Chains A and B, each alone.
Chain A
């Protein structure tokens, strides 16, 4: 690993790399768990299958990323230990990912904003100096591409649909927009990871995310809200109350029956 890093680059510590990998892993895990709540409740069989399939991809990405985080940490925690035995304050997902599903339109808006971010982030992470992270990203980006096709397709259909669907997704965009700044504004750890050649430059991700999202909002005939500066800190472990409820479901079984297997 160290041989691949150009001499002028600073080296990230294992702790920094662990924290950064958790941000990506937990965002996929929490978003996947949210989408899985739709199973059996989708508005049509096709949408039920779609949301379940996307959830499966996200949870698969989370498993690869959590396993990597555990190896970086080097304290013997595997993907299950990290997913099931940390409490909300130790989760590092962006706050957008944990927001409740609401109606189908709200889920689509949340997914669309997140897909655009994951797509651009993974596309850039393909060049990361964290070699294993780059490999996971190169696989994940293919999946995120069709997640985005799905969510953006539905956003256009609902935004440019009936008066009722337009009103409802419009309200969801207004409501969820405040969580988008956290995706795009780097904190000290993001900046450090960029400096070390592990994370992509935040400004480039912001520019591509904004272009992508502005394009789909225009096509959906939805107004774009003004830039939000509200500081959410999910990636530092400060979450909205929604995460605790989600984790209660996610972690219930292994915590009630530790070590249980099929």
Chain B
């Protein structure tokens, strides 16, 4: 690729990233798909076409297809209609892929994050460590359900897998 072509490609890739940052997760709309850590790459292929790699959070997450459609629509609206979407399975998503800003937004929204698999999080409301797990499964595949023994509020927790 020539230097001007490479510069143009880099500019387009940055526009794609910015557009992706405008796509909220359909189930937890306070975070966008980039913060959620499911955009694996944005790169320009040899033919000049941009490829966006998305990874599902869970194999059966029903939001996966909704997210693909939302990404496609956002890119179309931004005039980036010649973008190929591809599914990337490895490395598999885990809560480690959540960005720092994604974590802060989730916690502000009232969703805690397990520090490691099965380990109790702090209550997102009162920060108490005195919490109990009600169920390892919650309203979406990525969440478990906890209750705070200090402020007595139940809360969702992003599972660590």
CB–CB B60/A59 < 8 A: yes
Contact of A138 among B56, B58, B60, B92 (CB under 8 A): B92
CB–CB B136/A64 < 8 A: no
Q: Is B29 an interface residue (CB 8 A)?
A: no
CB–CB B118/A57 < 8 A: no
Q: Is B59 an interface residue (CB 8 A)?
A: yes
Number of B residues, CB within 8 Å of A: 24
- The stretch among B38-46, B98-106, B137-145 that forms the contact with chain A is B137-145
CB–CB A49/B138 < 8 A: yes
Q: Which residue of B lies closest to A134 (CB)?
A: B90
A-side contacts of B141, CB under 8 Å: 53, 56-57
CB–CB A143/B136 < 8 A: no
Chain B residues 105 to 161 lying within 8 A of chain A, measured CB to CB, are 117-118, 134-139, 141, 145, 159, 161
Contact of A143 among B59, B62, B90 (CB under 8 A): B59
Number of A residues, CB within 8 Å of B: 30
Q: How far is the CB of A100 from chain B (nearest CB, A)?
A: 22
CB–CB B135/A49 < 8 A: yes
- The stretch among A145-153, A187-195, A203-211, A220-228 that forms the contact with chain B is A145-153
Q: Is A50 an interface residue (CB 8 A)?
A: yes
Q: Is B19 an interface residue (CB 8 A)?
A: no
Q: How far is the CA of A60 from the CA of B65 in the complex (A)?
A: 12
Q: Which residue of B lies closest to A150 (CB)?
A: B136
Contact of B137 among A46, A134, A135 (CB under 8 A): A46
Q: Which residue of A lies closest to B133 (CB)?
A: A46
A55-92 contact mask (Cβ, 8 Å, vs B): 1 or 0: 11111110110000000000000000000000000000
Q: Is B94 an interface residue (CB 8 A)?
A: yes
Given contacts A58-B60, A140-B59, contact A49 B161 (CB under 8 A): no
CB–CB A53/B137 < 8 A: yes
Q: Which residue of A lies closest to B118 (CB)?
A: A149
Q: Is B89 an interface residue (CB 8 A)?
A: yes
Q: Which 3 A-B pairs have the closest CB atoms?
A: A60-B60, A60-B59, A46-B135
Q: Which residues of A contact B (CB under 8 A)?
A: 32, 46-47, 49-50, 52-61, 63-64, 132, 134-136, 138-140, 142-143, 145-146, 149-150
Cβ contacts A to B, 6 pairs, < 8 Å: A49-B135, A49-B138, A50-B135, A53-B138, A54-B137, A60-B59
